[in-house]
Amino acid sequence: LRCSVPVNCFVGQSEWSEYFPDCGGTSQSPVDVITTQTKYDPSLVPVMPLGYSQHGNQPFSMHNNGHTVIVELPEWMGLGGLPWFFTAVQLHLHWGNGGPGVGGSEHTINGRSSDAELHVVHYNAELYPNMSAAMTQRDGLAVLGILIETGEETNPGFNNILNYMSRIRHADQRTFIPAFDVQSLLPKDLGRYYRYNGSLTTPPCYQSVIWTLFHERVQISKAQVWLTMRNTKSASVS
Ligand code: SG4
Ligand code: ZN
């Protein structure tokens, strides 16, 4: 396989490490969490979303980067409960291309995938000045992973994003959406999660992420998933 612009010509994950050496690292994410092999650590306190509900009046910027939808978050949002304070940067979604029931999540639990996965990305604001300085460093980033299942009931929190997806059907399109309570996207139980040191799940795969994968899955409706997929047909949202 030869290509001048690697990001545009991947045929599969197996080739990532040819172009991005970190993708062949020993802590590559995502992982399959095998619950019988996890170790209980009483020092792990519940996840503390800080300022997630203080969204203010400034709209959030949302764009399609050609792979996914990204919502940029205000810098007063952050994450406590870790050895350092982490500032929120953005959230994005991973959807499969198959629709509900096919399993578009990145992380799996005991081999079982979910229909989609939400990631809220933060950087270590105590040790590094900004996201780009932090993203190459061990302990530089903290990402919350939320597994999404589809059912019958509409999840109003997700409509704050999904209602506006049709405005960014194509790569590089950007829009502004009304600010909303980001905590409404998280599961209720913030105390049960899996924590491990891993990496960005896509190139450049920096081994820089403290991962928190919630045990509780969040439900959205099948209609919400179909609507999203229809509105992003040409954007290869994945
Ligand atoms: C997705 O490709 C996002 O579009 C990327 O966001 C993100 O990179 C990448 O996933 C890896 O993040 O939480 N899945 S992940 O490990 O957040 C970063 C952007 O490129 C650095 C802005
Ligand atoms: Zn992600």
Q: Which of 105, 110, 128, 114 is nearest to 206 (CA)?
A: 128
| Model pLDDT, residue 119 | 98
Q: Are 214 and 193 in contact (CB under 8 A)?
A: yes
Q: CB within 5 A of ion ligand 2: which residues?
A: 119
Q: Which of 51, 123, 120 is nearest to 92 (CA)?
A: 120
| Model pLDDT, residue 5 | 43
Q: What is the mean pLDDT of the chain?
A: 88
Residue 175 tokens read as 């829009």
Residue 234 pLDDT exceeds 60: no
Report the sign of the C-alpha dihedral through residues 142, 60, 219, 117, in that order: negative
Residue 100 pLDDT exceeds 90: no
Pocket flag, ligand 1, residue 107 (CB < 6 Å): no
pLDDT above 90 covers a percentage of the chain that reads 71
Q: Which of 144, 147, 125 is nearest to 198 (CA)?
A: 144
pLDDT tens column, 193-206: 999 999 999 999 99
Q: Are 164 and 151 in contact (CB under 8 A)?
A: no
pLDDT tens column, 128-157: 999 999 999 999 999 999 999 999 999 999
Pocket flag, ligand 1, residue 121 (CB < 6 Å): yes
Predicted ipTM of the assembly: 0.97
Residue 177 tokens read as 């959406």
Pocket flag, ligand 1, residue 135 (CB < 6 Å): yes
Would residue 55 show up in a list of annotated catalytic residues for this protein? Answer: no
- Residue 98: other Cβ atoms inside 10 A: 11
- pTM score, whole prediction: 0.92
Q: Which of 80, 76, 1, 13 is nearest to 47 (CA)?
A: 80
The atom of ligand 1 lying closest to the CA of 131 is: 21
The whole-number average pLDDT for the span 61-79 is: 95
- Using most ligand atoms within 8 A of CB, pick from 22, 27, 121 the residue to mutate for ligand 1: 121
Phi-psi region of 205 (alpha: psi -120 to 50; beta: other; left: phi over 0): left
